[in-house]
């Protein structure tokens, strides 16, 4: 017994020594110029990055750091809340293909340890049909439970285009066996339909979260575009932020105009963002006009609308929209500080990021406080050439003087050679 206690103590001392050896070195916060505070009630919490943080943090948010009031680092997960629509198809073994009256039946075995599944894909022969399907699950292949019933499967073709629904969704399940029954369409099928293949998958569909940023629009400028009368509006986003949509309020009820949207952070080198036609019908006369594009970071935009012989549009305002950048963490009650703005910050890659789901609906949403200057911040020392620019000129003068002396000596040597 005593020997066992000694071994346990030695193991504890050894593991403690290993932790001390491999524990991460605390970061000095002197390289982070800004922070914001957030008061938390404890437990799972989250907040969305605002315009201040997005503008001054790295584009990949690798420099974000959370610390509690005692100076302890708090792990977090960063989620970009875009819409998610993913499918994972599982390998299964089909069996018991059969025809039961006017219906076709196919079963699938997903193996002894099946993963969660919630959708079947049913491929069938035929065109222009509407058939009803039923999906059942079973743990043993003997007793079956209904997962979905009266689901509609269809395929219609016209003018070279096809509309099709070949999947049936049901609550998440771990049943090893899945059985699908498809009835014939009494309008077009003379017999039970042919099921060519059956697939079982896990489908993940998560609605994202958008954040909006009001923009400041300058007055309209009249300027021809490609020889056509046009209007130009310059849009200030208030900082360099991500955006994937621009919503524009327009006074006119109906219109249709060609447009071009550019990023003009560097006026000498504008970057095309979107182009085409903005339009609004009487049916949607009260809705803002939205321009969609792939996500980009920008601080200044230029919107050009071609008017031709039409009166210029009266634009009331603009709002930038992007997928929310959500920070999720677990901490005790108190004040937490979010530090940001270090261009050389390295992504921390916390283990917590792999354990918190992307849809953290149970987290308490918290507001970020105002931006504050970090009193511990120490700017990185500039190179000597920037701190003392006069040294550059002094070195150039010295180099010129040395070159002149060399040339004089060469001239004297040439003169002696010529005289001799």
The residue among 307 and 5 whose pLDDT is bigger is 307
Look at residue 385 in the predicted model and tell me its pLDDT.
56
- Residue 4 — pLDDT band, cuts 50, 70, 90? very low
Percent of the chain with pLDDT over 90: 75
Q: Is the pLDDT of residue 14 over 60?
A: no
Q: What is the mean pLDDT of residues 241-263?
A: 96
pLDDT in tens, 202-247: 998 878 899 999 999 999 999 999 999 999 999 999 999 999 999 9
CA dihedral for 192, 196, 201, 204, sign (positive or negative): negative
Q: What is the mean pLDDT of residues 178-182?
A: 98
Percent of the chain with pLDDT over 70: 89
CA–CA distance, 38 with 162 (Å, rounded to integer): 52
Q: Is 237 exposed, middle or buried (0-12, 13-18, 19+ CB in 10 A)?
A: buried
pLDDT in tens, 102-131: 999 999 999 999 999 999 999 999 999 999
CA–CA distance, 277 with 256 (Å, rounded to integer): 7
Q: Is the pLDDT of residue 338 over 60?
A: yes
- Residue 383 — pLDDT band, cuts 50, 70, 90? low
Look at residue 18 in the predicted model and tell me its pLDDT.
33
- Residue 24 — pLDDT band, cuts 50, 70, 90? low
- 11's tokens: 């193991």
pTM over 0.95: no
Lowest mean pLDDT among 91-100, 137-146, 215-224, 398-407: 398-407
Look at residue 5 in the predicted model and tell me its pLDDT.
33
Look at residue 402 in the predicted model and tell me its pLDDT.
78
Q: Is the pLDDT of residue 353 over 90?
A: no
CA–CA distance, 195 with 187 (Å, rounded to integer): 18
Q: What is the DSSP string of 122-138?
A: EEE--SSEEEEEEEEEE
Question: Strands 43-48 and 364-365: what pairing?
Answer: parallel
Look at residue 50 in the predicted model and tell me its pLDDT.
97
């Amino acid at each position: 017994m005593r020997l066992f206690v000694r071994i346990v103590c030695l193991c504890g001392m050894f593991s403690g020594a290993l932790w001390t050896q491999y524990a991460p070195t605390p970061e000095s916060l002197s390289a982070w110029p800004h922070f914001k505070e957030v008061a938390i009630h404890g437990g799972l919490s989250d907040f969305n990055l605002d315009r201040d943080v997005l503008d001054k943090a790295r584009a990949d948010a690798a420099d974000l750091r959370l610390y509690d009031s005692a100076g302890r680092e708090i792990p977090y997960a960063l989620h970009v809340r875009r819409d998610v629509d993913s499918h994972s198809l599982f390998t299964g073994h089909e069996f018991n293909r059969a025809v039961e009256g006017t219906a076709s039946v196919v079963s699938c075995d997903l193996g002894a340890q099946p993963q969660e599944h919630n959708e079947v894909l049913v491929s069938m022969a035929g065109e222009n049909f509407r058939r009803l399907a039923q999906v059942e699950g079973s743990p043993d292949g003997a007793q079956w439970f209904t997962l979905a019933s009266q689901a509609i499967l269809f395929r219609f073709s016209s003018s070279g285009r096809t509309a099709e629904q070949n999947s049936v969704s049901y609550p998440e399940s771990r049943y090893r066996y899945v059985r699908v029954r498809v009835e014939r369409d009494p309008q077009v099928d003379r017999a039970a339909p042919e099921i060519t293949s059956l697939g079982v998958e896990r489908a993940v569909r998560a609605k994202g979260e958008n954040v909006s940023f009001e923009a400041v629009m300058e007055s309209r400028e009249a300027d021809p575009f490609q020889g056509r009368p046009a209007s130009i509006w310059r849009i200030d986003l208030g900082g360099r932020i991500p955006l994937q949509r621009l919503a524009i309020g327009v006074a006119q009820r109906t219109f249709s105009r060609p447009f071009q949207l550019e990023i003009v952070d560097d006026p000498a080198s504008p970057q095309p963002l979107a182009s085409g036609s903005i339009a609004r019908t009487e049916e949607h006369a009260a809705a803002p006009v939205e321009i969609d594009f792939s996500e980009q970071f920008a601080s200044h935009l230029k919107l050009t609308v071609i008017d031709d012989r039409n009166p210029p549009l009266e634009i009331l305002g603009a709002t930038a929209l992007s997928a929310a950048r959500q920070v999720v963490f677990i901490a005790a009650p108190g004040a937490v500080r979010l530090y940001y703005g270090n261009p050389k910050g390295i992504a921390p890659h916390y283990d917590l990021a792999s354990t918190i789901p992307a849809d953290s609906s149970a987290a308490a949403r918290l507001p970020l406080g105002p931006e504050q200057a970090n009193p511990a911040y120490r700017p990185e020392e500039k190179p000597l050439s920037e701190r003392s620019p006069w040294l550059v000129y002094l070195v150039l003068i010295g180099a010129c003087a040395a070159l002149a002396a060399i040339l004089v000596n060469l001239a004297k040597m040439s003169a002696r050679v010529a005289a001799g």
